[in-house]
Each structure stands twice: as C-alpha cells, then as structure tokens.
Chains A and B, each alone.
Chain A
Amino acid sequence: MELRQISRDITDWFSGSGPMSDIVVSSRIRLARNLAGHRFPGSCSVEEKAEILDVLKSVLLSLDLGDEVFYLSLDKESELARSFLVERHLISRHHAMASGPRGAVITKNESFTAMLLEEDALRLQVLRSGCRLSECAAQIDKIDSMIEERVEYAFSPRFGYLTACPTNVGTGIRVSVMLHMPALKMTGQIEKCLAAAKDMNLAVRGLFGEGTEAASDLYQISNQVTLGVSEQAIVSEFENVIIPEITEYEKAARKQLLTKQAEALDDKIARAMALLQNAHLISSQEALFLLSHLRLGLNMHEHMGVSTPAIERLCALGAPGPDRHRLSIRTINRLFMLTLPAHLQLNYGQPLDATRRDALRARIIREALNPQ
C-alpha cells in the first residue's frame, strides 16, 4: 500500500456525511492496552520494543478486520509521511514523534487504526463520519476482544486495564467527537460553551490550528475520566447528554446569526468566497478559517433551509453547466484536507517551502471554486 494511493482524496470520516453531520463532523473511540509481563513502551529497551511489535503486528495482521489492511513501520517512514498520517488522524502526534521501533495497522477505508508502541503498547482507534459513537463502540469492542483471545493484556482487578499514564487507566477508553462550531465563534459565545464542556469533566481541544482557538472552528471534545465508569456509560453520556447539549448551543447560535446578524453572516460568507476564488497565496490557517465559513453557509442551506444572497451564490458555485455537481460539503472538506501542508507536499511529490505551498494551495482552491 502506497500512501499516495490514499492521499489524493479525503478520508471517509471527513466526508461530511452521517447523523447530525451539520455539526458533528466525526466520532472517534480509542482504547489503550498493554501486554502483561512487558514494560510500558517508554521504559522498554529497543529489543523489548521489537519483541512487542512482532507479537502485536502478527496478531493484528491475522485478524479479519472487514477490510483490506496495510502495515506501516513508522520508524522507517519519512517525516513527511508521518505528518500526513497525523493530518488524516490515522496516528497521533505522539506516535509520529516517538523514537524506536513502532508501527501502525490501518484498514484501507481508514476507519480503523492500531497504533503499535505509542505511549502504550497498543492503541486501537475507530473513526467514523457524523455522530456514530455506538457503532464505533461496538466495532472497537469486537476487535479488542479478538485481540485479547491471542495475547494477555495487563489488567488489575482494582485498576482495570493498566496504562503507562495513570490518567488513562481503567477502561482505557477515550471517546471523542469533532464538532464544527463557527456560529458560536461569530456570536462570541465559544469560550462560554467550551468552559461549560470543561465543567462537565471533558477535555476540549481546537483542531487543525495553533493554540486553543481553532482557526478551523473544529473542536474535539473527549472524556477525561476513564476509571470507575463503564465504557457503555461514557458513550451513552456523550450520546444522550453531551452531544445534544453542545450541538444545541451551536444551533441556537446559527439561528441567532440569521435573525440578528444576517448581514454580518452574509458578509463573512461573501468575503470567504471572494478571497478563496481570487487569492494567489494563501496560508493553511487562512484557508481553514475561510473554508469554515463556506461549510457553515452550505450546512445552513442544507439543514436549515436558509437562503440569503451570499448563500445562494455559494450554492451556485461549481454548478454552471447542467452536468456539474453543486458545491457539496464533501468538496469543501476535500479542499480543506488536501491543502494541509503534508497532504500538499505528498501529492506534489516533493517538499515545498512555505511560499510555494501557499501558492499551490491557492491554485488548487481557485481552480475548484472557479470552474472553467
């Protein structure tokens, strides 16, 4: 499997489909596991790491994961390839940056990854588009049980699954959703909303941006408590309390934009279109910021039936002839992902300096939004 085979399109979890996808971009569950009788990776010698890697790799590759699988030796991959995998959320930044023997087993549809020798010996991940946590939970539980038939996990009756960091001990589960919340930002309520999430013992992180304030308006919300609460209870709290409450905030903010700040909303969307259609140099941060406004406009049109002058023009983009598709969320997300720095360079075939990246990014976006 060549990474360049998957690098030309967006990954399925970012396709903009699935339940509640106007706000919930994707659902992810991770499980942390270690092997009994072995040290945690951070304390292992290179030999012990290689030994653990061998065991886990052969177990993972022998499983029926419902799709074609590929294996990557991360210590042999280039830095660019590893950054690409991080941009696609297939491995963690920690895994990309670590040293020594380590690898990843990834299904071709990219919905499942096993990170081998991350902070823990094994980190399983299931990732899907939209709000589909129950599905993720069922799939990851099944895979975890299949692995457990072949290896002995480090487990204690009192503390549950034992992890390198005591903050993950117990179920070892990390449930996350990626939420698109541009209206809360525009109406100045995002800080309040994120603070409320933190009060619910949740970890909040801005994605694809620098610092906590995400230029992309994409936020990841995850559970912090992994001990003393069952996997099921955590997932159902997300589905029944956390996601409905937080998405309700964003929905209310979108309505507020429409009733009280319609002109400001149209201005943002129109400016985003104008810049993206005309710029010749565009940084990754600026592209994320502007594309977020287009995504908001399209989603308000599709899910709330909104039609303002700017949204009308936005929907008509890319649809001049009879056989051309209307501009879709998928197209916006595709531009978003394919113009991230590592994607851009991997698809170009060689490293590019920042200015050439900005030029290439602007050209790709211009061509997509100005059909010939």
Chain B
Amino acid sequence: MQCQICNKRTATIHLTEINDGVRSEMHICETCAAEQGVTAQSQMSINELLSHLLASQPSDDEMFGPSEKDQVCPSCGFTLDRLRKEGSLGCPADYKVFEAALVPLIERAHNGKSTHCGKVPTKVPTDTKKFVELSTLRRQLEEAVKAEDYELAARLRDQMKQMQ
C-alpha cells in the first residue's frame, strides 16, 4: 500500500479513527510520519494529521501574506482557519474570497488542474460558457501538440479563433 502523503513510499503506519460511526483511515510511510510528528505509538488523530498537513502547506503567510489569512467571507463568515480544521467550505462565495489560497490545494487534489472543463448550466451567461469552452479547447490543443497531432491542433486553433 502506498503512502497517502507522498504517494511514493510504502505505507507502514496505519491510522484508523471512528467518528460518529464513520470510519476513516490514513496510511502513511515512516518518512512522512516523522515529518508530521507522528510515531507508530502516538495517538495523533487523522483530523489532527490533516490539519497539520494543511497548516504545513506553504500557502499561508509566506505566499499570501497575513491579509488573506485573516480574511473573513462576507456572506458566511468563513475563515481559512476553518477550512484547515473542517476540510470543507462555508458557501459558494468562498471560492472567490479565498481563491489564491485554494488554488494550490485544488491543484493537489485534482492532478494539477484548476480550471473547469465539462458541463455548464444552460442558464449561465454566454460569456461564461465561452470561457469554459475556450479553456477546454486550449487543453485539447495542448494535448494535441504534445501528441504531435498537428492536424488536430490546427483544427482546434481555428475553432478557438472563431470563438474569439
């Protein structure tokens, strides 16, 4: 079994926790455990470990300055501190309010991606739809170039020009 933190080494430390009847498990390697201050005998809970991990992201003061760290969402009162503790957000507006801090987390969870590609509600303004379609095409274009499919790349480029 692979370590859930580094995804490289074999997990030898297994944490299990039952919270409100919901069982969660974490499997990590010794190196990552040592970095997070977990030892095989320690009683650190998974929640604590997760908050350690979030806290050790370089996404705090160093990257965004203290202003964002202390920011509060005007619509729901959410703070970054709560995200760190609870792992989820308070309201849709938080994605805008905390965008800078969220992007690195989102990229880590989604294989480096941070822009939507796929279904768009029919009701959203045409601008939005165009934005999503363009970024979808851009991604396909990058892949076509990587795969050296220049014919497809040319076609995608034309489509993008037409839209702009």
In Å, the complex CA distance between A179 and B103 comes to 34
Among residues of A, the one whose C-beta sits closest to the C-beta of B25 is A212
Residues of A within 8 A of B92 (CB): 34, 36, 38, 40, 154, 156, 162
Given A43-B91, A154-B92, answer yes or no on A160-B116 (Cβ-Cβ < 8 Å): yes
Check B113 against A225 for contact (C-beta < 8 Å). Answer: yes
Count of A interface residues, CB-CB < 8 Å: 53
Tally of contact residues, B, Cβ under 8 A: 44
Tell me whether B113 and A166 are in contact (CB under 8 A).
no
Report how far A167 CA is from B121 CA in the complex, Å: 20
Query: What separation, in Å, do the CA atoms of A159 and B123 have in the docked complex?
Result: 16
Q: Which of B28-36, B59-67, B131-139 contacts A (4 or more CB under 8 A)?
A: B131-139
Contacts of B78 in A (CB 8 A): 43
B127 contact set on A, CB distance < 8 A: 157
1/0 contact string of B110-124 vs chain A (CB within 8 Å): 110111111111111
Give a binary string over B84-111; 1 marks a CB under 8 Å from any A CB, 0 the rest. Answer: 0011111110011000001001100111
Report if A155 contacts B (CB, 8 A): yes
In contact, B110 and A162 (Cβ under 8 angstroms):
no
Contact of A171 with B by CB under 8 A: yes
Q: Enumerate chain A residues within 8 angstroms of B21, measured Cβ to Cβ.
A: 93, 97
With A and B bound together, what is the CA distance between A39 and B90 in angstroms?
6
Question: Whose C-beta in chain A lies nearest to the C-beta of B110?
Answer: A227
Write 10 A-B pairs (CB below 8 A) sorted by A numbering: A42-B90, A43-B90, A94-B22, A149-B122, A157-B116, A158-B116, A166-B88, A166-B89, A210-B23, A211-B25
User: Which residues of B are in contact with A by a Cβ distance under 8 Å?
Assistant: 1-2, 16, 20-23, 25, 75-76, 78, 86-92, 95-96, 102, 105-106, 109-111, 113-124, 127-128, 131-132, 136, 139
